[in-house]
């Protein structure tokens, strides 16, 4: 008679239960990471917008005629290369103070709900 080898049904069930427990503990951490990634990406877009506003203001002060007139927070996007807000992000419609270095706080929001603030410099 041949001796049969393999796993018993109880051993297989124990392994499946252990894998289920591991998956249940890892899932909340994965979900939290996706929220943190959205927040970080939104902060990156806000940083790019703040940088574009600062460079645009510097160009205007230096007498460059290619600078963009920023009267609203949404106008800052036109100072970026490409001239548009990245897909999936919106900028608040807030009037920007004009004048020598006048600044206004603006907010950028992702489609997933993350928000970040940046400073627009009126030019």
pLDDT single digits (tens) 90-106: 998 888 877 767 888 99
Sign of CA dihedral 37, 42, 45, 46: negative
∠ CA(41), CA(106), CA(35), 5° rounding? Answer: 25
Extract the residue ranges of the chain whose pLDDT is less than 50: none
Domain boundaries, the chain: 9-121
Element (H, E) at 15: helix 9-61
Q: What is the mean pLDDT of the chain?
A: 87
What pLDDT shows up at residue 1?
Answer: 64
Give the whole-angstrom CA distance, residue 64 versus residue 58.
Answer: 9
Give the whole-angstrom CA distance, residue 67 versus residue 98.
Answer: 14
Q: Helix or strand or coil: residue 5?
A: coil
DSSP string, 72-94: BGGGHHHHSTTSSPPTTEEE---
**Whole-prediction pTM value?**
0.73
What pLDDT shows up at residue 34?
Answer: 82
């Amino acid at each position: 008679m041949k001796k049969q080898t393999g796993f018993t049904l109880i051993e297989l069930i124990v392994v499946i239960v252990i894998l289920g427990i591991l998956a249940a503990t890892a899932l909340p951490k994965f979900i939290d990471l996706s929220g943190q990634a959205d927040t970080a990406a939104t902060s990156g877009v806000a940083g790019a917008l703040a940088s574009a506003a600062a460079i645009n203001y510097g160009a205007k002060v230096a007498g460059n005629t290619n600078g963009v007139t920023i009267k609203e927070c949404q106008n800052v996007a036109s100072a970026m290369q490409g001239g548009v807000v990245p897909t999936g992000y919106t900028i608040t419609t807030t009037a920007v103070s004009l004048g020598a270095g006048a600044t206004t706080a603006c907010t950028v929001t992702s489609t997933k709900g993350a928000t970040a603030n940046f400073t627009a410099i009126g030019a």
